[in-house]
Copies of this chain bind each other. A is one copy, B any other.
Amino acid sequence: MARAASLSGYLELLPQERIVEQHVLDTLRRVFEAHGFASIESRAVEPVEVLLGKGEIDKEVYGVSRIHDDAAEAKQALHFDLTVPFARYVTENAGHLAFPFRRYQIQKVWRGERPQAGRFREFTQADIDIVGDGELPVRSDVEIAVVMARALQALNIGDFTLRVNSRKLSEGFYRAIGIEDTAAVLRAVDKLEKVGEDRVAAEIAESAGATQAQAQQALALASIRTADPDVAAQVRALLGAEAVGETALLEEGLAELSLVMGELSTRVPGRAEADLSIARGLDYYTGTVIETVLHGHEELGSICSGGRYESLATKGKRAFPGVGLSIGVTRLLSRLLDAGELAASRTVPTAVYVALSSDEDWGAAQTVADQLRARGISAEVALSAEKFGKQIKYADRRGIPFVWFTHDDGAHEVKDIRSGEQTPADPAIWAPPAEDRTPQIISITDEPSTAEEL
C-alpha cells in the first residue's frame, strides 16, 4: 500500500491485499444472501442527464465517448454511485421484478475527486436496498440497518455505531418552531462536524431566514444523541410548549425513529444510536437517514450511509419507494490495510507447492497436484526443476505452507515450511489442517473471528 499509484487517485492492490478484499466482499455477499438479498449489476455508464438530474450534482462526473468520434460532448458518463442506476434499473425492469424487491450490488463507481489521501477516483461500493411498489413499511428501514450492522460485524474490523435520524423528525421540528425553508436548515446542519456550531447557526439564520432563537433550537435538536429508544421524550422536552407551526410531520418522524431504534436495540444491541445531527447531503432522502462511524477511525467519516427515499424511482404515476445503505469498501479497506489491521497470511490461494526433481517429472507432479485439487486443496507445480532450496524459498516467499516432494523411488513426503517438519504422505488422502486450506485473514481486533457468524 506504500507504493505510489501510477495514475493519481486509482488504487491497485497487490495479490496479498486483493485476498483481503476478496474476503471482505465474500463476507458481505454471504450476509446479504443469508437475508434474501439478490445480486444485480448495472452497466457502468448512464446517460449524462440521468446522472446530473439526480443525486449529488456537484460531483465530478466522468464523461465517456468513443475516441475516434468528433463529438466533444459526451452523451454518457460513468456512474458515481449505485443508487441512481438502481432506481433506473427498477423502473426499466419493473414488469420482471417481484416487489418488495431486495437487492445487493457490489460494483465500482467513479468520481473525479481531487486526489488526496484515502480519496479515490475509482472505488467499490457495496449497497443493499429494499424497494416497494407504491408503499414500503418502515420495518424495511429496520431490516436494512440490521443487515448492514451484521455485515460490518462479520467483517471483524472492530467496534462501530450506526447513527440514525429521521428527516421527517428534523424537518418536522423545524416546521414546529416556525421555520419554513427546512431544506436550507438541513443543508446547514449537514456541515456541523466540518465547520462547527457557530457557523452553522449563522448559516441557518442567513439562508433559512431563521431567528437566533430558532437557529439555537435547531442546534439543540442536533445535539441529541442517545441509545435510548425513547428519543421522543427528549425532543418533546426541547420543543416545550413553543410549537408555533404544524407538528404532524414531527410526530410521524418521532414515531418512525422510535420504532427503528426500538427494533435495532433488540436485534443488534449496542450497534445503533439516535443522532439527530445526521442530515445527509442528498436531496432524495425523505425519512430514516443513517451514517456509521468506525471507532478509532473517525477520520474516515461515515463508512456506511444511506436512508429512505420515497420517489427516486417513478414510472408515470407509479412510485417505487426504497431504503438502502452503502458501504464505501475501497476507502475502508485501504485504511485497514494501511493500518495493518487486516492482512492475509499468503499471496496466493495455493496450499501445496509440488516441487520437481527433474523437468521430466512435471507430468507426474501434475498428477499428484490433481489428486489434491480433486479434494479442494489448491496446489501448483514448479515450472522448472531448480534446486530444492530455491523451490522451497519461492514457496516460502509467497506464504505457501506446504511443499510436496516425490522421491525417485516413488515415495511422497510433505514438508511444513513453517516448522520444517517433513513427513511421508499419500497424495490420495493427505490433507492440510483446515486453517491452512485457504489464506487466513488476520485481524487486529482481539475478538475471536466472527467470519462465520451472521
A180 located at the interface, meaning its Cβ lies under 8 Å from any Cβ of chain B in the complex: no
A245 located at the interface, meaning its Cβ lies under 8 Å from any Cβ of chain B in the complex: no
A374 proximity list for chain B (CB < 8 A): 453-454
Chain B nearest CB from A59 CB (Å) reads: 10
Task: Decide yes or no: A380 and B102 within 8 Å by CB, A41-B18, A139-B362 being known contacts.
Answer: yes
Q: How many copies does the complex hold?
A: 2
A376 located at the interface, meaning its Cβ lies under 8 Å from any Cβ of chain B in the complex: yes
- Contact for A349 among B38, B263, B383, CB less than 8 A: B38
| 8 Å CB interface, A44-89 against B | 44-45, 47-48, 60-68, 72, 74, 76-78, 88-89
A35 located at the interface, meaning its Cβ lies under 8 Å from any Cβ of chain B in the complex: yes
A358 located at the interface, meaning its Cβ lies under 8 Å from any Cβ of chain B in the complex: no
Chain B nearest CB from A402 CB (Å) reads: 12
Q: Do A67 and B62 touch across chains, with their CB atoms under 8 A apart?
A: yes
Q: Do B96 and A78 touch across chains, with their CB atoms under 8 A apart?
A: no
- Chain A interface SS verdict (over half): mixed
A398 located at the interface, meaning its Cβ lies under 8 Å from any Cβ of chain B in the complex: yes
A453 proximity list for chain B (CB < 8 A): 374
Chain A contributes a number of interface residues (CB within 8 A of B) equal to 92
Task: Decide yes or no: A36 and B350 within 8 Å by CB, A43-B12, A397-B98 being known contacts.
Answer: yes
- Contact for A102 among B60, B136, B348, B454, CB less than 8 A: B348
Q: Identify the 6 closest CB pairs spanning chains A and B, nearest first.
A: A36-B380, A36-B350, A33-B349, A15-B38, A66-B112, A10-B43
20 inter-chain pairs at a CB distance below 8 angstroms, sorted by A residue, are: A11-B43, A12-B42, A12-B93, A14-B93, A18-B38, A22-B39, A34-B376, A35-B379, A36-B380, A38-B347, A44-B110, A62-B66, A63-B64, A67-B74, A102-B380, A137-B383, A139-B383, A143-B383, A146-B366, A266-B363
A: residues with CB less than 8 A from B are 3, 6-7, 10-15, 18-19, 22, 33-45, 47-48, 60-68, 72, 74, 76-78, 88-89, 92-93, 96-98, 100, 102-103, 108, 110, 112, 122, 130, 132, 136-137, 139-140, 143, 146, 263, 266-267, 347-350, 353, 359, 362-363, 366, 369-370, 373-374, 376-381, 383-384, 394, 397-398, 453-454
